[in-house]
Structure 1
Amino acid sequence: MKSKAQSIAVSGLWIHTVCVFTVLALTSFVCAGQKTPVGKYAEINGLKMYYEVSGQGDPLIVLHGAYMDIPSMGSIIPKLAETHKVYALEFQGHGRTADIDRPITYQNLADDVAALMETLDIDSADVFGYSMGSAAGLQLAIRHPEKVKKLVAASVAYDFKGWQPAFQEFVPQMTVEMFLSMPHFQEARQQSQDPDRFPEVIRKLIALEKEPMAWEEQVKSLKTPVLIISGDADVATLEHTVALFRHLGGGVMGDMGVPLPASRLAIMPATAHTAVISQPEMLHAFIEPFLLGAVPKGMFEQTDY
């Protein structure tokens, strides 16, 4: 008999950790008219990190979620590459970046991004992260603020307590064997750079889920403009997401003759965690105006006729 927690996992409430393998069947990385991205490797922090470059314009770093890779981010990457030079990377133990003898932590992931930027002579860039990648993006802005112009953080939390209660309850039940018994992970293991090491990657990612995070004071001190994107049924609670927005100066009243805060909040309706990344049109409609600094005019603002 399965425990209640295991039943919840199978039904899908633990999708934050599984992430979006099914997106691969729903989206295509290369859209019509988009040139095939150029894939390369960079030696940084003991890793041979894989990354792809596509598009032209100001640099934009794209950070994927746990158990994901560049293709599973779907068509949001080529859409962003229409107006930006996109650098999409694959984290330690993910995709074509092999694992190394080091824990997977948000701090390590952030430092890897910073090291890649230095290797590529990118002084600063905008950053778009999803799920694990968004938390790594937060740490990048905290640890290397000079490297992040603007941060788009989709499905993010700054404290373990910000996750939905169902997910918090399930985390202690996670095991390597549970993941390896699932078809998606069996396939991912075969596609891994080192199939024999894949269980160790899962173990590290389970350990990552147990991290308390507790970055409230660090978040409050951020000067980087952040666009927070969340599904209304995401893995982070709406209350936590709004609290993050307020920590960044958001949540004030407009139409009072003062500029709006630099940070922004966008909630995607009828959207669970994995459905966030499967809606590239909506994501792009939020991200592009933020990166451009475009602000809708209110009816009380002066308009030139």
Structure 2
Amino acid sequence: MKLKSVIAALGLLFAFAVTTALAAERWEQLPDPAPMPAAVKSGTAPVNGIQMYYAVYGSGPPVLLIHGGLGYSDVWGGQVADLSKDHMVIVADSRGHGRSTRNANPFSYDLMSSDYLALLDYLKIDKTALVGWSDGGIIGIDIAIHHPERLTKVFAQAANTKIDGVKPDVLQNKTFAGYIEKAGEVYRKISPTPGEYDAFVEQISGMWASEPNWTDDDLKKIKTPIAIVLGDHDEAITREHTDYMAKTIPGAKLVILDNASHFAMLQDPAGYNKAVRDFIDR
């Protein structure tokens, strides 16, 4: 009788767990990235005193995908599989992230932009479209301000141009907290310095405390065609700040992704890919 009771209780717990999982909205979920396809080439490039991991897929007009803070390039698995059908897709791990090294230089968006420009030089790519998520979107905006000759278009998702564009309670959000936990697990598996995650986070947090901080005049300099993109349930970036960016940057296109959050590329790969293609391929 006791065994039957235990089995019944376990069954109820399982049913509850399944029901809870099914009840989660798509924008609350944090799926694992799709597997990356086979690369045309990959390796590390010596840029600005670090070794930067990169990979190249497919052929055609180039598009550079830049991941967000604490992340790594494999987050783009669902996008690389689609875009590499008719594009040369370049991904990389930003300095200190994933398989790339870091040094004692303070993190800044200018420095990280310089890393990616040096990588493009290393790969002999003069000009590219850029798809950036979060910190990657900020890097895209930085390059559009300072080095527009290197870009054809920028798709900047979940980016901010001032620190007050970030929601003050973002770290209390369970989905965002889950992302930070997963990022730490990945770092400890693939980083050249697997025991230094806390030191890395502390180092990059210095940048986040004061950057970005561009003026309206800075944004008005942007001439590169740019899409300012936000999931309608983004946990980190306010809609008000996103609207401000789209209104301030000349000719910017505002794109709101339905039923998606900061992690839209994972939650809705097909919808995300369509939004990217609708912008960079037209």
Fold-level match, TM-score > 0.5? yes
* Per-residue deviation, 1:37: 4.4
Deviations 1:242-298 (A, max 9, x none): 11111123xxxxxxxxxxx4x3121112222123443221111111121122xxxxx
- Name structure 1 gaps, 5 residues minimum: 1-19, 171-177, 250-260, 294-305
Q: Is the 8 A contact 1:96 1:193 kept in 2?
A: yes
1:115 Cα deviation from its structure 2 partner: 1.1
Aligned to 2:131, what secondary structure does the other structure show? strand
Partner Cα separation in structure 2 for residue 207 and residue 231 of structure 1 = 26
CA distance in 1 between partners of 2:181 and 2:167 (Å) = 23
Deviation, 1:197, is 2.9
2:250 is equivalent to residue 241 of structure 1: no
For residues 131 and 21 of structure 1, the distance between their equivalents in structure 2, rounded to whole angstroms, comes to 18
Counterpart position of 1:83: 86
Shift in CA distance, 289/21, structure 1 to aligned 2, threshold 3 Å: closer
Q: Is the 8 A contact 2:33 2:78 kept in 1?
A: no
Query: Cα distance 1:39–1:233, how it changes in 2: closer, same or farther (>3 A)?
Result: same
Partner of 1:213: 212
SS in 1 for 2:200: helix
The aligned residue for residue 264 of structure 2 is: 275
Q: How does 1:41-190 map to 2 (within 5 A)?
A: 41-167=44-170, 182=181, 185-186=184-185, 188-190=187-189
Q: CA deviation at 1:39?
A: 1.2
Indicate the larger mover: 135-144 or 205-214.
205-214
Aligned equivalents of 2:70 and 2:63: distance in 1? 22
| Distance (Å, rounded) in 1 between the aligned partners of 2:195 and 2:118 | 28
**Count of paired positions:** 248
Tell me the residue number matched to 1:4.
none
> Could you list the per-position Cα deviations for residues 105-143 of structure 1 after superposition, in whole angstroms to 9, with x for gaps in the alignment?
111110111111122221111111111111111111112
Closer, same or farther: CA 239–147 of 1 in aligned 2, 3 Å: same
State the shift of 1:166 in Å: 2.1
Cα contact 2:260–2:268 (8 A) shared by 1: no
Give yes or no for the alignment of 1:266 onto 2:266. Answer: no
Kept after mapping to 2: 8 A contact 1:232/1:269: yes
Classify the secondary structure of the residue corresponding to 1:230: strand
Q: Is the 8 A contact 1:231 1:276 kept in 2?
A: no
The one-letter code sitting in structure 1 at the alignment partner of 2:51 is K
Deviation of 1:147 (Å): 0.6
Alignment deviations for residues 209-237 of structure 1 (CA, whole Å, 9 cap, x no partner): 21242213211111011112101121211
Deviation of residue 81 (structure 1)? 1.1
Following the alignment from structure 2 to structure 1, what is the Cα–Cα distance between the partners of residues 132 and 184?
Answer: 22
Partner of 2:21: none
* Aligned CA-pair RMSD: 2.5
- Provide the residue aligned with 1:14 in structure 2: none
Q: Deviations over 1:130-163 (max 9, x none)?
A: 1111111111111211111111101111111111
What does residue 224 of structure 1 align with?
224
Deviation at 1:198, TM superposition (A): 2.6
Q: Which residue of 2 aligns with 1:195?
A: 194
Contact 1:47 1:100 in 2 (8 A): yes
- Distance change (3 Å), C-alpha of 1:161 and 1:183: closer
Q: Which amino acid aligns with 2:213?
A: A
DSSP-derived class of the 1:41 partner: strand
SS of 2:277's equivalent in the other structure is: helix
Q: Contact 1:21–1:72 at 8 Å: present in 2 too?
A: no
Preserved contact between residue 66 and residue 131 of structure 2 (Cα < 8 Å): yes
Kindly indicate whether the alpha-carbon contact (under 8 Å) linking 2:98 and 2:186 is maintained by their aligned counterparts in 1: no
**TM-score with structure 1 length normalisation?**
0.74
Task: Give the whole-Å Cα distance in 2 for the aligned partners of 1:93 and 1:51.
Answer: 13
Instruction: Decide which structure has greater helix share.
Output: 2
Q: So what's the TM-score if we normalise by structure 2? A: 0.80
Q: Which amino acid counterpart does residue 133 of structure 2 have in structure 1?
A: Y
Identity in percent: 25
